[in-house]
Amino acid sequence: MALILPQPNAQPFSFSPRRRLTHRPESTVPCRISSNQSSGHNIASTGRLSACTCSGHQKRSDHSSRIYATANTTPVAAAEGEPESNFGRIILSDVVVKRWRNVYWGRKWNSRDMGTAAVVVVMHLLCLFAPFVVNWGAFWVAVGLYMVTGLLGITLSFHRNLSHRSFKLPKWLEYLFAYFGAQALQGNPIDWVSTHRYHHQFCDSERDPHSPIEGFWFSHMSWLFDTNTVVQRCGKPNNVADLEKQAFYRFLQSTYIVHPLLLVALLYTFGGFPFLVWGMGVRIVWVYHITWLVNSACHVWGKQAWNTGDLSRNNWWVALLAFGEGWHNNHHAFEYSARHGLEWWQLDMTWYIVWLLQVIGLATDVKQVAKTGLPLWLLGLGADRLRADMNRLLASLFHQGVLDEQFLQLQQLQDETSPNFVSEVVNIFFHESEKLLRNLRGLL
């Protein structure tokens, strides 16, 4: 295993839909990786993996930035002057990461980080009482709130609906599901969505808010307690204007801590301390770690069906626990898709709920992969061609007014043509070009 430094003949800068500062030496196609390729060498970098052919061959460009490569060899070099001993292979994985990142000692804590740490610690301490106050009522309250806040709140609302706009809901239902997500104590919708969009934009690079290249536990939970690092990497949130312009989300952001306290009072009133322990402590910690496993485990364990240029993996056991979120490599290949389990056998509970909402007319403009029957690898090639064309187009636009006008026209055109006319490829075009316009506006 080696950490390879940047090559001197790097390619020119271009705008990327997933990260702002990157080199794209060739096209970046989310195409299939053959079975014999899914094991062995796995590479993540601040740049991109170059295109792989339809037969499954994949090659790494020599022009990419700092590269974290994994193979069956011992590290022989360290990047940026860091000693080789600072890196290690994650158990049962081929991913090599930094061994430890200290975010707890030797730094100044701000009030937000201290509040986050206090909430996480208190919730875990509540779990210690769980064996002593368990009863069937408390257990089923925890299960019910797990479904409401984890499934409807985090995976369906915060992630697929708000972060990726994979489908549209009536505003009353969108706001209700978002309120459920706020009861998971993972932050308000504006901050949660902003961080997640930055994760996709800078995925597994040194600007990713929670990449395992900084260590498994950093990607799992430690990053939550170091907001200064996130700001240094990504800047202040400038990618959630669609939420910030809505009074409901601004209200949740400014009054976020009040709403879980209302639930605490409700649980204690109806079930006493057992309901509080199981409905808050056990349930919240359970949803915490399931959500965090998507950030950590799904970037180090599992299979890569698609060449996405990052460490994302499909992990079946995380998918079972996290309502389909474990099909993470599929998601990074087609992040606009409301369906993450692309194969018939890939269980995706969140998608089943979205499908049901679509059947009864509550979910509209539901984006999927290969609704037209095209092979998935061919659809990936088409999506990449559109991304490349949009990169060239957007690189010539430097006036804020032009960008705003194009952004509004694009949204209007999508509203006028959906859902009866727009094919799958056109859906990709709308989603990718809208995302590129949003990212480019943030650069200017």
Mean of pLDDT values over 378-399: 53
pLDDT digits (tens, 9 = 90+) for 278-327: 999 999 999 999 999 999 999 999 999 998 889 999 999 999 999 999 99
Number of domains in the chain: 2
Residue 22 near residue 16, CB atoms below 8 Å = yes
Within 224-327, residue ranges assigned H as helices are 227-234, 241-244, 247-254, 258-276, 283-295, 316-321
Percentage of the chain beyond pLDDT 90 is 49
Pick the more confident residue, 42 or 216. 216
At residue 413, the pLDDT reads 61
Please determine, for residue 51, whether its predicted confidence score (pLDDT) is greater than 50.
Answer: no
Say if 105 falls within a structural domain. Answer: no
Pick the more confident residue, 93 or 293. 293
Same domain, 313 and 185: yes
Same domain, 255 and 397: no
Residue 101 near residue 110, CB atoms below 8 Å = no
At residue 419, the pLDDT reads 47
Say if 382 falls within a structural domain. Answer: yes
Say if 12 falls within a structural domain. Answer: no
| Domain of residue 204, residue span | 111-333
Residue 442 near residue 238, CB atoms below 8 Å = yes
Same domain, 402 and 261: no
Same domain, 268 and 120: yes
Contacts 24+ apart (CB under 8 A), 433-438: 433/386, 433/390, 434/407, 434/410, 435/17, 436/15, 436/17, 436/387, 436/390, 436/391, 436/394, 437/394, 437/403, 437/406, 437/407, 437/410, 438/239, 438/241, 438/407
Please determine, for residue 228, whether its predicted confidence score (pLDDT) is greater than 90.
Answer: no
Average pLDDT value for the chain: 76
For residue 343, the surrounding DSSP H or E stretch is none
Same domain, 179 and 327: yes
Please determine, for residue 193, whether its predicted confidence score (pLDDT) is greater than 90.
Answer: yes
At residue 249, the pLDDT reads 98
Say if 402 falls within a structural domain. Answer: yes
Same domain, 412 and 329: no
Please determine, for residue 400, whether its predicted confidence score (pLDDT) is greater than 50.
Answer: no
Say if 202 falls within a structural domain. Answer: yes
Say if 327 falls within a structural domain. Answer: yes
At residue 435, the pLDDT reads 64
Please determine, for residue 420, whether its predicted confidence score (pLDDT) is greater than 70.
Answer: no
At residue 107, the pLDDT reads 76
Say if 433 falls within a structural domain. Answer: yes
At residue 369, the pLDDT reads 84
Please determine, for residue 245, whether its predicted confidence score (pLDDT) is greater than 90.
Answer: yes
Q: Report d(CA 126, CA 124) in Å as an integer.
A: 5
Please determine, for residue 227, whether its predicted confidence score (pLDDT) is greater than 60.
Answer: yes
What global pTM score does this model have? 0.72
